[in-house]
Homo-oligomer: A and B are copies of this chain.
Amino acid sequence: MSRPAQPKTTTPDHIGVSVIQSQTHAAAIAGVAPGGLQQVPQLVPANANPSAGAGGGKAAKMKKPSADKESDEYRQRRERNNLAVKKSRMRSKQKAMDTQQRVNELKEENERLEAKIKLLSKELSVLKDLFLEHAHNLADNVHAPAAAGGEGANPALNNNNNNNNNTSANGQ
């Protein structure tokens, strides 16, 4: 993962060298441009092939591009690479989609969690209110310990408590 020194031909693009050759395998030449182009690929590598010098060239064989186009070797490698490329790109796309999917899932979960927080906050708020009410009750009773029996417990509950309602005041 690092392109230290890419050619980076500013504007004048890289030369797209690449010949047609390899009629060897099949004949797919005429079916290249389904759109309407006539693309006459009548090119021959001019063969930079360094094997068994033809004219006066040295018979020195290249080291890297062992197979000057045409060669089966070359063709096979290209084909395999093309395959690998497709595979890699497919994965890449799949990954992107998965990531997007993940975002959606996380968003949903987030909503669920927020809803839950809202609920819990509300419950907490209610309970706190109750506490405060009772505290006041107590105070009242202390000062006037007379009214103590009200069928359930509802009677004396009142007081506008200034509860620390945190329903929306949540610190982070």
Contact = CB atoms under 8 A, between A and B. Distances in A.
Interface string A121-165: 101100110110011011001100000000011011111010110
Contacts of A128: 127
Interface of A is mostly: loop
Interface residues of A, number: 85
A128 to B, nearest CB: 7
Nearest to A20: B15
Contact of A110 (B27, B48, B109): B109
Interface string A62-79: 101100000000000011
B31 A9 contact: yes
Interface in A18-59: 18-20, 22, 25-29, 31-32, 34-46, 48, 50
Contact of A161 (B124, B130, B161): B130
Contact of A12 (B26, B100, B163): B26
Interface of A: 5-7, 9, 11-20, 22, 25-29, 31-32, 34-46, 48, 50, 62, 64-65, 78-79, 82, 96, 99-100, 102-103, 106-107, 109-110, 112-114, 116-117, 119-121, 123-124, 127-128, 130-131, 134-135, 137-138, 141-142, 152-153, 155-159, 161, 163-164, 166, 170, 172
